[in-house]
Amino acid sequence: MTDDELVEAHLGGDRDAFNELMSRHCDRVYALACRMMGQREDAKDATQEVFLQLLRKLDRYERRAAFKTWLYRVASNVCYDMLRRRGRQPALSSTDDDLPFVDAAAVEHFSAAEARPDVEKALARLPDEFRIVVVLHDVEQLRYSDIAEILDVPIGTVKSRLSRGRHELAVALRNLLTGEERPK
Amino acid sequence: MMSMEHLTPDDLAAFLDGELPDDARASAASHIAGCDSCGAELSGQSAVKDALRALPRPVPTEADRASWMAAVSSALTPGRVVLLRHKKTWAAGLSAAAALALVAGVGIAVVRRSPTSAPAAGVSTVHTTRTSAFVAPPPGSILEECPPVAAGEPLILITAEDIAQAMSTLRDTCATAFTREGVGRYRRIYSDQLSAVQGADACLVSLYDQTDAPLLPVYAAPALYQNEPAFVVVFLTTFTSPASASDRLDERQAWVLRRESCGILNVVTG
């Protein structure tokens, strides 16, 4: 059965349908939550909350986008809300249009394999609104248009947050690899 | 155009990701081939992208999956109610008129009940877990997080009917007395917010102002305190982020006033 068929079945009273949906997608949601929350326990809580919300909202799923896209949307919102409550206010602002041109000299190459712990550390330190885009694209490998739909922002914003996020990661990684702490 | 001018980091990202339109892609490629600056920026972005793709994918344990399944099963089971427990003796009954208050964005029900109340019919399992939606009160607030429920402590169960009655009164109060300016713009009635709570279906009315939502508990507490110790159930409505006028309520959060030792229980009947 497709995801949409499972949604239909669930709404029609099939109690196993939702469990099947959850089995299919919980790893995906958990992976996203880990990257967004930065802590395993928070990611577990977030994953549970995503599926509880899904349960309550499934009758509002309009099928304008693929179920997976909609699921990511719910998951992103849950992570945002939890981060906000945890005290890390996502800085959603209009500053995307004011980004400085990336200084190419600031970017140094690094080996992906040896830098893995640093990559995770740097990713966790990215501002939330950049991290979500970087994770959805570079980790989850979604298209710009899907990310725009998930986050309810224009594609231009996706592009700019992605390039800005990558740049900040490159700078942070360079600092981490050379033993400097990234300035707060 | 593009072959003459430097590409922006955004366009380089789109080039790297295959998201540039075909015509722009050709001219971008031509420019990058002859431009060290853009080439370096592209390589930098590419290196970060490769590093992110190389990250190991976090995988939940079987215990994690089982725990999520259990939570969902519990939510799928009819008869789930949200209860409070308290050790003190209270006057029996519900003093709704004195105890209900409404502050922008929050539906507040203050429920008092005798400790001799029988547990809700059919209660078979008491979970003392606090949901992930529980929020620690802000520093300095008169609210504080409840201590964990200790094993063996006597419980007072507030039934779903109590909540239903309180919420019904709240709805009436709201409909007749609530005129606070500024909230009207966002005024909505959500009857589905407590749809998972047996006996409380379609009985919760809530107003909220998205702009004030994070501060609402601070506003709410003094408004309803009235020098009377009581159970306080605050259904704080939250919104998804990024917030928009069309966001629906999607979470239920419970707060309790300090002073008393109290907790939040999920009771599953069946």
3-state secondary structure of A118: helix
Distance to chain B for A48, nearest Cα, Å: 5
Distance to chain A for B114, nearest Cα, Å: 32
State whether B72 and A22 contact (CB < 8 Å): yes
State whether A156 and B10 contact (CB < 8 Å): yes
Mutual orientation of helices B36-53 and B22-33 as an angle, nearest 10°?
110
pLDDT in tens, B114-159: 333 333 333 333 333 233 233 343 444 333 333 344 444 433 334 4
What is the side-by-side order of every strand in the sheet holding B80-86? B80-86, B262-269, B123-127
Q: Does A86 touch chain B (CB under 8 A)?
A: no
Q: Does B118 touch chain A (CB under 8 A)?
A: no
State whether A164 and B71 contact (CB < 8 Å): no
3-state secondary structure of A80: helix
What average pLDDT score do residues B32-57 get?
A: 89
Q: Report the distance separating Cα B104 and Cα A106, nearest Å.
A: 48
What average pLDDT score do residues A45-64 get?
A: 84
The larger pLDDT score, comparing residue B166 to residue B192, is at B166
State whether A109 and B47 contact (CB < 8 Å): yes
Instruction: List CB contacts (< 8 A) between B135 and chain A.
Output: 85
Q: Which two tokens stand for residue A113?
A: 């394999």
pLDDT band of residue B160 (cuts 50, 70, 90) is: very low
DSSP per position, B239-262: --SS--TTPPP--EE---BSSS-E
Task: Please state, rounded to an integer, the average pLDDT across all residues of chain B.
Answer: 48
Instruction: List CB contacts (< 8 A) between A25 and chain B.
Output: none
The larger pLDDT score, comparing residue A10 to residue A131, is at A131
> Residue B107, Cα to own-chain centre: how many angstroms?
14
Burial class (CB within 10 angstroms; exposed 0-12, middle 13-18, buried 19+) of B76? middle
Task: Judge if the upstream peptide bond of residue B242 is cis by omega within 30 degrees of 0.
Answer: yes
The larger pLDDT score, comparing residue B197 to residue A48, is at A48
Residues 6 or more apart in contact with residue B22 via CB below 8 angstroms: none
Residue type, B192: D
Contact A44, A82 (CB under 8 A): no
Q: pLDDT value at position A60?
A: 77
pLDDT in tens, B212-252: 333 333 223 322 222 222 233 333 333 333 333 333 332 33
Instruction: List CB contacts (< 8 A) between B37 and chain A.
Output: 104
- Residues paired with residue B237 on neighbouring β-strands, in sequence order: B252
Q: Does A9 touch chain B (CB under 8 A)?
A: no
Using the predicted structure, report yes or no on whether residue B92 has a pLDDT greater than 80.
no
- Residues paired with residue B213 on neighbouring β-strands, in sequence order: none
Instruction: List CB contacts (< 8 A) between B38 and chain A.
Output: 104
Q: pLDDT value at position A76?
A: 94
- Nearest-Å Rg of the Cα atoms of chain A is 18
Instruction: List CB contacts (< 8 A) between A120 and chain B.
Output: 55
Count how many pairs of residues, chain A against chain B, have C-beta atoms within 8 Å: 172
Contact B156, B84 (CB under 8 A): yes
